[in-house]
Structures are given as C-alpha cells and as structure tokens.
C-alpha cells in the first residue's frame, strides 16, 4: 500500500512495517526542496518515525542542506574529532576507525539499542544517515517505535514509569569502548550526563514515549542499583520488542532519517569479524530539552546544551 501525503506533492510514503518506517519516492535530494515538499517530509517523519530514501547520490553539503529542513544542524558529535575540516557537521561512521578509538572492533559507535546522544540535556530531534560504502551482505540497522513500546505497557506499569526519572551517560551500564581507550579517556575528562523523564512527551505529536535505552540509560534515579537494573531490563525488553521494529538493508546512496525523540535504533553486530568496510555519514538536528508527562524538563548533570546552526 502506498499512502500519498495529504500535502500535494509528487512524494509518496509507503509503510514498510506494521509500527514504524516508510519508503519515500518522488524526490531528488540533489535539488533544494520547496516548502510543500519539506512540509510533507516533516509530517511523514512524525507519522512513520523513520523514512528511507533510495539511490540518492548526494554529497556532504547536500546532506547538510537537506538536514536543515528539520532545524539547525549541530556539530558532528560532542566527542568527535574526525569530522571533515570543511564539514564539521558530518559524523563519519566507519568501522575501520573504531578499533583505534574504542580498543575493540565495532561496526558503529554503540552496539546496543540507543537514541542518539541522550546523555545531552537536549538530545538531537532528528538524525540523517547516508550510506557511502556498505558490505555486500550484513551491516543492517534496525529502528524501534518508542510510542508503541509505551503503549504496550499495562496501565499500572505506565503509571509507575511516568513518575520516574533516569540518568543517561555515555556507555550506559555496559560501554562498548574500553575504559583505558582514547574514547574512554575523553569521556572521563568531560563527562556528559543528563537526567530525563522515563516517559517523555513528543513536542509535536503529543505521543508518550518510553525514553530509556541500554545504550545510554545507566540507572533509575532514587532506586538501588539492583532495583534499577531489574526495572531497566524489563523496559529495555519492551523497547526492543521485535513487532515494534523495522530492519533496513543499506545500499550506497540510501538515506535513513529518523525522529530521534520517538525512536531508538540498533547498529549492526554481524560484521565485526568480517574484513569489510562500512562507511556512513550522519548529521543531527538540534533538539529541545525533553519534558515528562508531569511537565518536568530534563536536567543536565554534567555538560551543556548542544546547539546547531
């Protein structure tokens, strides 16, 4: 089934899974978008949560220009120093670099379900990921719908978690990087830690979102570590419920755009033992400070807001 967007453009958005994800056709991202096209894409993103564009041979400047339809584009990442000199917005996700940075082989920058950069008090609103070199097989990414994860909870558990806050820090409970790696050292010197509501409210759609992930959420505030681990394990299982997910097979020129407030994603774990190259370029759009069901905003425990232009 292909659902034409209510705004009159040539764009179509075809759902690819029951809870999340749509293929986008009818647009060439080498061209600048008109306001109707941009609005149709933004509305579709809020509806489908992750959008997949195909065969888009664009460069860094065109990726940054496209990302700006969603808001100001930030620098690549708070801990990144590998961005191309002329494009400080571009995060290079290249499996060949992680052994040097993390002290272990990795396909991407975390090996757990995560929402991008939630240790920031204002995590990115939107992420845009463009594939440049991909292996012939393997290296897929998965996304999950955090509104579905919240909606699937029984009412009594919803009521409990709506009143809770959680700490988010780099590495979560099980960091991918070695503590004595250059990355571990960087994080120790300038920790980024924030406290977010366990259930945040989407600022545009009003949806309630289960906003915890194993990539970054380290503990429930006010709980003992044992209590926190037990509850987080349960919530992480809900977030990773297979029915709420979609899996994407990359080709060179594929682009995925996700609503980073309403989703978590999982980088591949199946190519670390293979002699392959996987290079993607990510841009992120400045996010607002999340707000819980009770109206309480997130707070920074360590670190500043990350803004863009």
Q: Is 265 a catalytic residue?
A: yes
| Spatial separation of the C-alpha atoms in residues 303 and 230, rounded to whole Å | 28
With beta carbons less than 8 A apart as the criterion, state whether 136 and 297 touch.
no
Smallest CA-to-CA distance from 254 within 284, 279, 286, 285 is with 279
- Residue 255 found at the interface with ligand SIN (CB under 6 A): no
Stretch that binds ligand SIN, among 33-41, 62-70, 108-116, 290-298 (CB under 6 A): 108-116
| Spatial separation of the C-alpha atoms in residues 167 and 218, rounded to whole Å | 6
Q: Compute and round to an integer the Cα radius of gyration of the chain.
A: 18
Give the interface size with ligand SIN as a residue count (CB under 6 A): 11
- Residue 267 found at the interface with ligand SIN (CB under 6 A): yes
With beta carbons less than 8 A apart as the criterion, state whether 248 and 140 touch.
yes
CB of 135 to ligand SIN, least distance (A): 12
Q: Is 48 a catalytic residue?
A: no
Selecting among 48, 77, 112, 114, the annotated active-site residue is: 114
- Binding pattern to ligand SIN, positions 78-107, x when CB under 6 A? ---------------x--------------
CB of 39 to ligand SIN, least distance (A): 25
Closest CB to ligand SIN among 215 and 292? 215
Among 76, 122, 141, 145, binds ligand SIN (CB under 6 A): 141
Q: Is 114 a catalytic residue?
A: yes
Contacts of 156 (CB under 8 A, 6+ apart): none
Smallest CA-to-CA distance from 114 within 265, 222, 278 is with 265
Q: Strand order of the sheet with strand 12-15?
A: 3-4, 12-15, 22-25, 50-53, 255-259, 126-133, 279-285, 91-94
With beta carbons less than 8 A apart as the criterion, state whether 209 and 150 touch.
yes
| Spatial separation of the C-alpha atoms in residues 57 and 245, rounded to whole Å | 27
- Binding pattern to ligand SIN, positions 270-289, x when CB under 6 A? ----------x-x-------
- Residue 219 found at the interface with ligand SIN (CB under 6 A): no
Closest CB to ligand SIN among 11 and 90? 90
Closest CB to ligand SIN among 108 and 217? 108
SS3 195: strand
Closest CB to ligand SIN among 261 and 282? 282
Q: Is 294 a catalytic residue?
A: no
Closest CB to ligand SIN among 77 and 208? 77
Contact residues toward ligand SIN (CB under 6 A) are 93, 108-109, 116, 127, 129, 141, 265, 267, 280, 282
């Amino acid at each position: 089934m292909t659902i034409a967007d209510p705004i009159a453009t040539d764009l179509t958005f075809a759902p690819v899974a029951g809870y999340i994800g749509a293929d986008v056709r009818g647009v060439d991202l080498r061209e600048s978008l008109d306001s109707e096209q941009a609005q149709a894409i933004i509305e579709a993103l809020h509806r489908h949560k992750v959008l997949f564009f195909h065969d888009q041979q664009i460069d860094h400047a065109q990726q940054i220009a496209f990302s700006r339809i969603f808001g100001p584009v930030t620098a690549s990442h708070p801990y990144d120093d590998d961005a191309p000199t002329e494009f400080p917005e571009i995060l290079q996700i290249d499996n060949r670099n992680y052994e040097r940075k993390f002290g272990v082989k990795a396909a991407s920058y975390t090996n757990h379900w995560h929402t991008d950069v939630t240790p920031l008090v204002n995590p990115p609103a939107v992420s845009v990921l463009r594939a440049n070199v991909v292996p012939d097989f393997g290296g897929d990414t998965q996304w999950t719908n955090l509104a579905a994860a919240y909606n699937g909870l029984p009412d009594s558990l919803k009521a409990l978690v709506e009143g809770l806050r959680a700490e988010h820090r780099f590495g979560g409970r099980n960091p991918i990087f070695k503590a004595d790696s250059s990355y571990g050292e960087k994080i120790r010197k300038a920790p980024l830690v924030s406290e977010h509501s366990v259930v945040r409210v989407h600022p545009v759609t009003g949806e309630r979102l289960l906003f915890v992930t194993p990539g970054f959420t380290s503990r429930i505030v006010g709980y003992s570590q044992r209590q926190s681990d037990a509850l987080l394990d349960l919530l992480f299982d809900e977030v990773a419920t297979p029915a709420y997910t979609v899996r994407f097979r990359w080709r060179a020129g594929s682009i995925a755009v996700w609503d980073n407030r309403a989703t978590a994603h999982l980088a591949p774990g199946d190519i670390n033992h293979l002699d392959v190259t996987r290079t993607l370029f990510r841009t992120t759009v400045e996010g607002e400070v999340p707000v819980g069901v009770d109206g309480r905003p997130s707070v920074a425990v360590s670190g500043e807001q990350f803004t863009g232009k």
